[in-house]
């Protein structure tokens, strides 16, 4: 069996997250003279040459070696009698050597064959190519075992390159053999020998991080025993269980960190109570030209409750594309303003800040809310005035880019921060905003539906509101993955629809390494289409190299229907709300992730006409094929997000660095979800009983949490 999150198997190659010996912070936990700090070089059978090889695996000390876990196990304990053999499954058979044979094939390869037989005369043959090693050591009449995956060949079972063991005194030695991530020149046997020596020397020095109560409740072995069992299990289940202990431990440390942070924020900070009276509610609802959907209402109710408390709201608002989260955020902003507090809405980019500004201007057309837009393109003098007004409390509502607002805006009376993260995530960012001034309430919006497993980990310290429903009458977009031969037909379709007054996007991917190339591609495409198939239409080009005001101009033209077709390379900046745009074509669709594709096509589902999205891609990998099939089949963003995470692995799905918590070393959020939930429940209980982790039984856990997450999560609360 193979484990999903393994250095060898699915290596992301990024930093080691787990606080093993040698990692920063380990010194908190390990006594100065610990054997864990010793170099592997002095282990029996290692020496300088092998130490260099181990260094390539990031193993320098005994502690690091102990946490270099097997990638998989070969279970040789499954001993079968020869009439119970099953094809293709690793198993072991025992018998007497009855035939030893070596010959050369016509192509020059040497093939060796050894046949063993049981007392009933059933036989299994082992074959080896280009190695006579075993054969020379074996002799007729000897009892041996073969371990391997049998195949039925003509009239008998054979195993290719089985593992052979000579059976002494009638007892076969049946083992579970750990298989390690290796590097060239380092043999499995060497590593196993070194591991055994390291375990003997240093395993007892590894501190026990798990509180006794949790460990016993979950029936995990103590750390020393668990290490032995991970490396040299007696049975496969024992090895797997011991390994789960370490995954659980890793999750527990993460979840305790999140629980501590959550409590820290809630218990130590006081936020203004922002209450929503029936008058305020009625007043706000009058601003919408529509009725909120049931999902929106539920989100609003949760927010209203949070805001009325003097503990800062910490809420994540996630919604499928176009499901109306901005509308909900506006409600929250206005509650703050109605309570005579300032509120801010921050967007990740200039264009999105603009977009929000326009949206909110629509809602607030007849309101007296004093509001300001803060972006890079606001002239310095005007910005200075705005900043002064904000400081003096003369502005209620500020909309702007995250960078600008964080840079140095002082608020007279800040009550609520809304962050539109779009596809960007980050605990760090949230930590930074928190320090803006007083303790505001806090709403994070995300346009990428987040699988529950991520919500529990990356956003484990936030409450979550989810909008799945689309506004009434809204059509899901029809998505088709098209063969290149269909291109002309799709162009025709665009022409027909644009003649009727509809608008369209053509999106080209942007790959950072070859930004220039892509730019050329998009520009060329623009020229070709503008002067070719679409010469009777007004075509615009939007790409990342344009200056902000040029971008804004193009967007405005498109929104005001001065353009029929927009060719765009810039994914996030396509975050536009143009209900009249109903057509989209995506070039090289295989270069986009599932969530991105879903975001993109969300741009043509804004109105009440069913959007159409055509994907073009010369697909080379099976994974890409699966992705495109999934996007064409499924319109539910949440289902897609799960699918995406499954296809790519969570690390990729989020971009390891984006979520800001670093890689998990042993655990895999999707695969080990049961452990994640378990660890979360235990963490909440632990922190509920001992918020500062001051009890003696929590000392080691506290050290581990601080070492791993103290900085990232700003855990002053337990520092
Ligand atoms: P999101 O921020 O999730 O992308 P928005 O709040 O921007 O969604 O809403 C998307 C579009 O749907 C906007 O044009 C908005 O006016 C409209 N909308 C939002 N909520 C509703 C609703 N309850 N009924 C009808 N239209 C709605
Ligand atoms: Mg929006």
> Half-sphere exposure of 532 toward its Cβ, with a 13 Å CA cutoff?
10
Residues with Cβ within 8 Å of residue 189, at least 6 apart in sequence: none
Task: Express each pLDDT in 113-122 by its tens digit.
Answer: 999 999 998 9
426 lines ligand 1 (CB under 6 A): no
For residue 89, the 8-state DSSP code is: S
The pLDDT, as a whole number, for residue 186 is: 87
Which one of 322, 418, 606 would you pick to mutate in the ligand 1 pocket, going by the greatest count of ligand atoms within 8 A of its CB?
322
Distance of CA 489 to the CA centre of its chain: 38
Longest dimension (CA), the chain: 99
Residue with tokens 């040789």: 76
> Contact at 8 Å (CB) between 66 and 199?
yes
User: How far apart, in whole angstroms, are the C-alpha atoms of residue 690 and residue 696?
Assistant: 10
Cβ < 5 A residues, ion ligand 2:
326
In the prediction, which pLDDT does 516 show? 61
Residues 6+ apart with CB under 8 A from 497: 504, 582, 583
pLDDT confidence band for 503 (50 / 70 / 90): very high
Give residue for tokens 């083992």: 175
Instruction: Starting at the earlier edge strand, list the strands of the sheet with 612-616.
Output: 478-482, 612-616, 581-586, 503-507, 565-568, 539-542
3-state helix, strand, coil in the chain (%, to 5): 45, 20, 40
What is the rounded (10 degree) CA torsion for 389, 391, 397, 403? Answer: 110
Residue 644 vs residues 322, 480, 538, 556: alpha-carbon distances, Å: 20, 18, 36, 33
The Cα 36–Cα 30 span in angstroms is: 8
Q: Is the CB of 345 under 6 A from ligand 1?
A: no
| 468: confidence class by pLDDT, cuts 50, 70, 90 | confident
**pLDDT reported for residue 273:** 94
Q: Separation of 562 CA from ligand 1 center, angstroms?
A: 23
C-alpha distances (whole Å) from 469 to each of 347, 419, 463, 576 are 23, 22, 19, 20
**143-148 and 163-166 as β-strands: parallel, antiparallel, unpaired?**
antiparallel
So what's the pLDDT on residue 431?
Answer: 42
State in Å: Cα 285 to ligand 1 middle.
14
Task: Determine the Cα–Cα distance for residues 613 and 478; give it in Å rounded to an integer.
Answer: 6
Q: How far apart are CA 684 and CA 682, in angstroms?
A: 5
* Per-residue confidence (pLDDT) for residue 662, from 0 to 100: 59
Q: E strands, 402-455, where?
A: 414-422, 441-446
Record the tokens describing residue 701, joined without a space: 């856990």
- The interaxial angle of helices 188-202 and 47-56, nearest 10 deg, is 100
Which residue is listed with tokens 């500004």? Answer: 357
Q: pLDDT category, 620, cuts 50, 70, 90?
A: confident
The CA 321 to ligand 2 mean position distance, Å, reads 8
Structure tokens at 239: 């090895």
Burial of 378 (0-12, 13-18, 19+ CB in 10 A): middle
The finding on whether 577 has its CB within 6 A of some atom of ligand 1 is yes
Closest atom of ligand 1 to 328 CA is 6
DSSP letters along 105-144, please? -TTS-EEEEEEEE-TTS-EEEEEEES--HHHHH--TT-EE
- 225-255, pLDDT tens digit by residue? 999 999 999 999 999 999 999 999 999 998 8
Q: What is the pLDDT of residues 514-572, one digit of tens each?
A: 556 665 677 888 999 999 999 999 999 988 778 878 888 888 899 899 999 999 886 55
Binding site membership of 471 for ligand 1 (Cβ less than 6 Å): yes
pLDDT at position 343 over 70 = yes
Average pLDDT, the chain: 83
Is 91:147 a contact under the CB 8 Å cutoff? yes
Q: What contacts 405, CB < 8 A, 6 or more positions away?
A: 344, 346, 374, 398
Indicate the range of 131-145, 386-400, 453-467 predicted with least confidence. Answer: 453-467
Tokens 């007849």 found at: 366
Q: Which residues contact 659 (CB under 8 A, 6 or more apart)?
A: 425, 426, 427, 454, 458
User: 50: burial class by Cβ within 10 Å (0-12, 13-18, 19+)?
Assistant: buried
How many Å lie between the centroid of ligand 2 and the Cα of residue 676? 32
Main-chain phi, psi angles of 20, to 5 degrees: -90, 170
Give the span between the Cα atoms of 597 and 586, in whole angstroms: 9
Is residue 606 lining ligand 1, measured as CB closer than 6 Å? yes
CA distance 176 to 653: 34
Mean pLDDT of all residues in 481-506 = 95
Residue with tokens 């994640």: 676
**How does pLDDT run across 282-327, given as a tens digit for each residue?**
999 999 999 999 999 999 999 999 999 988 898 889 888 788 899 9
Sequence-separated (6 or more) residues with CB below 8 Å from residue 452: none
Q: Which residue owns the Cα nearest ligand 1 atom 20?
A: 324
Q: Among 168-177, 360-369, 467-476, where is mean pLDDT lowest?
A: 168-177
- Cβ atoms of residues 387 and 409 within 8 Å: yes
**Cα-based angle 666, 669, 675 (whole degrees, multiple of 5):** 75
Domains of the chain, CATH where assigned: 78-174 (2.40.50.140), 294-467 (3.40.50.300), 478-634 (3.40.50.300)
Number of neighbouring beta carbons within 10 Å of residue 645 = 22
Contact 325, 454 (CB under 8 A): no
Averaged pLDDT for residues 38-55: 90
- In order, the DSSP letters of 486-533 are GHHHHHHHHHHHHHTT-EEEEE----GGGHHHHHHHHHHHHHHHHHTT
Cα angle 315, 653, 518 (rounded to 5 degrees) comes to 115
Instruction: Tell me the pLDDT band of 466, cut-offs 50, 70 and 90.
Output: confident
Q: What pLDDT digit, counting tens, does each position of 592-616 carry?
A: 878 788 888 888 877 778 899 999 9
Cα 84 to Cα 87, 91, 104, 129, 237, distances in angstroms: 10, 10, 32, 26, 22
- Asked if 437 and 382 touch (Cβ cutoff 8 Å), the reply is no
Task: Name residues whose C-beta falls within 8 Å of residue 484's C-beta, 6 or more positions apart in sequence.
Answer: 616, 618
pLDDT tens for residues 250-283? 999 988 988 888 777 667 778 899 999 999 999 9
Q: What confidence tens digit (pLDDT) does each residue in 134-145 have?
A: 667 888 999 999
Ligand nearest the Cα atom of residue 347: 2
> Looking at residue 460, what is its pLDDT?
65
Ligand 1, atom nearest to 296 Cα: 23
Q: Give residue 247's region: left, alpha or beta (phi > 0; psi -120 to 50).
A: alpha
How many angstroms is it from 326 CA to the middle of ligand 2?
Answer: 5
Count of positions (residues) in the chain:
719
Quick one: pLDDT at residue 661? 55
What's the CA-to-centroid distance between 218 and ligand 2, angstroms? 44
Kindly state the tokens that stand for 421.
């993260």
Are the beta carbons of 109 and 81 closer than 8 angstroms? no
The minimum-distance atom of ligand 1 relative to the CA of 420 is 2
Residue 318 beta carbon below 6 angstroms from any ligand 1 atom: no
The DSSP call for residue 2 is: B
- φ/ψ of 315, rounded to 5, equals -125, 140
How many whole angstroms separate alpha carbon 13 and alpha carbon 548? 36
Residue 689 confidence class, pLDDT cut points 50, 70, 90: very high
The mean pLDDT value for 416-431 works out to 63
% of the chain exceeding 70 in pLDDT: 83
Is residue 413 a contact partner of residue 341, using CB atoms and an 8 Å limit?
yes
> Rounded distance, CA 696 to CA 31, Å?
17
Structure token digits, residue 9: 């198997």
């Amino acid at each position: 069996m193979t484990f999903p999150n393994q250095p060898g198997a699915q290596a992301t190659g990024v930093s080691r997250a787990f606080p093993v010996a040698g990692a920063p912070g380990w010194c908190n936990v390990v006594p100065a003279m610990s054997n864990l700090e010793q170099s592997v070089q002095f282990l029996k059978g290692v020496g300088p040459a092998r130490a260099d090889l181990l260094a390539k695996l990031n193993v320098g000390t005994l502690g690091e070696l102990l946490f270099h876990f097997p990638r998989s196990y070969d279970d040789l304990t499954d001993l079968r009698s020869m009439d119970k053999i099953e094809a293709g499954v690793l198993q072991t058979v025992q018998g007497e050597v009855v035939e030893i044979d070596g010959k050369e094939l016509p192509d020059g390869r040497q093939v060796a064959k050894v046949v063993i037989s049981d007392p009933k005369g059933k036989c299994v043959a082992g074959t080896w190519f280009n190695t006579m090693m075993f054969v020379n050591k074996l002799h007729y009449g000897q009892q041996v075992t073969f371990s391997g995956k049998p195949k039925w060949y003509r009239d008998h079972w054979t195993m290719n390159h089985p593992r052979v063991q000579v059976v002494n005194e009638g007892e076969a030695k049946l083992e579970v053999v750990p298989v390690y991530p290796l590097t060239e020149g380092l043999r499995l046997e060497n590593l196993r020998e070194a591991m055994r020596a390291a375990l003997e020397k240093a395993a007892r020095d590894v501190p026990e991080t798990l509180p006794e109560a949790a460990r016993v409740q979950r029936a995990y072995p103590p750390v020393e025993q668990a290490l032995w069992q991970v490396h040299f299990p007696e049975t496969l289940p024992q090895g797997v269980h011991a390994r789960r202990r370490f995954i659980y431990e890793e999750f527990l440390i993460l979840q305790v960190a999140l629980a501590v942070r959550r409590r820290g924020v809630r218990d130590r900070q006081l936020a203004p109570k922002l209450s929503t009276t029936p008058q305020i509610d009625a007043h706000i609802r009058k601003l919408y030209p529509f009725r909120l959907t049931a999902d929106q209402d539920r989100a609003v109710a949760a927010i209203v409750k949070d805001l009325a408390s003097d503990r800062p709201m910490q809420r994540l608002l996630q919604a499928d594309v176009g499901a109306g989260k901005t509308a909900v955020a506006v409600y929250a902003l206005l509650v703050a303003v109605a309570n005579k507090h300032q509120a801010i809405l921050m967007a990740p980019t200039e264009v999105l800040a603009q977009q929000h500004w326009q949206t909110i201007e629509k809602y607030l057309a007849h309101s007296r809310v004093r509001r300001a837009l803060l972006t890079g393109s606001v002239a310095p003098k005007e910005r200075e005035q705005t900043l002064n007004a904000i400081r003096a409390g003369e502005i209620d509502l500020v909309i702007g880019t995250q960078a600008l607002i964080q840079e140095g805006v002082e608020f007279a009376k800040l009550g609520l921060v809304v962050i539109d993260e779009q596809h960007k995530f980050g605990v760090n960012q949230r930590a930074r905003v928190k320090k803006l001034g007083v303790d505001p309430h806090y709403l994070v919006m995300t346009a990428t539906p987040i699988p529950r497993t991520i919500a529990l980990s990356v956003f484990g310290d936030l409450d979550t509101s989810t909008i799945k429903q689309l506004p009434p009458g809204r059509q899901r977009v029809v998505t088709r993955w098209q063969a290149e031969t269909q291109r002309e037909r799709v162009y025709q379709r665009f022409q027909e629809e644009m003649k009727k007054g509809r608008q369209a996007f053509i999106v080209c991917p942007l790959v950072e390494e070859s930004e220039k190339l892509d730019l050329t591609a998009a520009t060329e495409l623009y020229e070709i289409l503008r002067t070719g198939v679409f010469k009777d239409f007004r075509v615009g080009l939007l790409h990342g190299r344009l200056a902000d005001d040029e971008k804004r101009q193009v967007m405005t033209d498109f929104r005001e229907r001065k353009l029929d077709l927009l060719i765009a390379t810039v994914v996030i900046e396509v975050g536009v709300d143009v209900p009249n745009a109903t057509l989209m074509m995506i070039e090289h669709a295989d270069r986009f992730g599932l969530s991105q594709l879903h975001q993109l096509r969300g741009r043509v589902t804004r109105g009440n006409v069913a959007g159409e999205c055509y994907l073009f891609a010369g697909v080379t990998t099976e994974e890409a094929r699966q992705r495109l099939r999934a996007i064409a089949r499924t319109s539910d963003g949440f289902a897609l997000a799960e699918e995406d995470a499954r296809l790519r692995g969570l690390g990729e799905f989020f971009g390891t660095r984006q979520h800001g918590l670093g890689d998990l070393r042993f655990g895999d959020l999707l695969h080990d979800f049961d452990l994640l939930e378990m660890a979360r429940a235990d963490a909440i209980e632990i922190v509920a009983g001992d918020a500062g982790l001051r009890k003696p039984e929590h000392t080691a856990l506290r050290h581990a949490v601080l070492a791993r997450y103290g900085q990232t999560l700003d855990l002053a609360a337990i520092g």
